[in-house]
Each structure stands twice: as structure tokens, then as C-alpha cells.
Amino acid sequence: MKTINQKRLFVAIPLPQTVRDELVHIQNKLKKSELCEGRYTNATQAHLTLVFIGPVDAAEVDPIKQALGTVSFTALTAQLGAIHYFQKNEAVRIIYANIICQKLAALASLVADTLSPWAAKDDRPFVSHATVMRVKKVEDTQKLISLIQSISVEPHTFSIDSFLLMESELGPDGPVYRELERYALLS
């Protein structure tokens, strides 16, 4: 739980407008289906999370910025992939768009290792994705899964030439993200 002198941080890859527009297109198909309810990702804030750091004391932000400044990795090319979902207790909880890039897991691992003094090790395998929506209620799980599997995605290709240290402020209308620092990847 975050205290008043803490900041909730994560490291992310920014997504280009073409990808964010495609995410809105996917969201519109889900809304039109009326098969589920939940919170849709604000397209202006859509990103790919590399590492969730969590709440840290405000005094730790500058050391985290300095540590991230030591990360050296080559720029990447990625592609927007198919729509998938994460389940919990057999219920669809998160609908996401896959981001295809073979070396993205290596970048996430390097960033996680760099942040080990501040971020707990995540034992789950890294899944490169952009969240489309967080599902709260489903009318018919099988119909929703069939819809997710039927949604075609424009496979936009894009460059990843930087990553961001972000702050997340949780509010009644969902999280609001603020860029704290941008780090360039090598050309």
C-alpha cells in the first residue's frame, strides 16, 4: 500500500499512435458486443509494461532514474499481434493485444535485474502486451472468448527506440500515468 511519501512506479514502452488507434478499434468491437463490462484502457495512456516497480519512497526515485540510465540495449522493431486474454479462476480478467518482438523479453529481464534493489522479482513469464481492458463482469465466457479469437488486428509494425520510467496515480476513474524520465535505446 502506498503512503503519502511514496510513488507508484513502473517501466514501460510507449506505443505509437497507429497502435493506440488499433486498440480503440478493438475496444469498440468489445463494447458493441455487450458481452462484458469493465474498465477500458485509456488509449492516450496505452503502453507496454516492462517492469512494475510498485510503491517506493520518493527519495528512491532519483537512484532509480540513475540505475535505469545504465541500461544499454539496442533499439527494436515490434509488431502488433493478435488479441488474447489472461484468466483467473477460469474467468477472463484482462483482454490484451500481443506485442510481437523476440528481444523484448531480454530487455525486460535486463531492466528487472537493474531494478532488483527496488522491484520484487516476478516469477511469471514475461508476456509482451498492451492491455485493452480489465474485465469485471462477463455475460457469457465462451461467447466472449470466441469474440476475442475472431477479432482481426491490423499488424502495425513500429520501432521501439526508448523506454520510460512512469508514475501511476490511482484515481476513481482509473490510473493516470505521468512520464518521469525517458531513456533512449541504442541505434
Distance CA 131, CA 176 (A): 15
The grid coordinates listed for 174 are 482509473
Q: 25: helix, coil or strand? A: helix
Query: What does the pLDDT read at residue 2?
Result: 56
Flag whether pLDDT at 3 surpasses 70. Answer: no
Distance CA 176, CA 41 (A): 11
The predicted model scores a pTM of: 0.93
pLDDT tens, position by position, 137-149: 998 999 999 999 9
Hey, what amino acid is at 29? Answer: K
Number of residues that this document lists for the chain: 187
pLDDT, mean of residues 126-133:
97
Distance CA 51, CA 119 (A): 8
Handedness of CA 18, 38, 175, 81 (dihedral sign): negative
pLDDT tens, position by position, 61-111: 999 999 999 999 999 999 999 999 999 988 999 999 999 999 999 999 999
Under CATH, to which class is 6-184 assigned? Answer: alpha beta
Flag whether pLDDT at 51 surpasses 80. Answer: yes
- In contact, 76 and 159? CB cutoff 8 Å: yes
Distance CA 133, CA 26 (A): 10
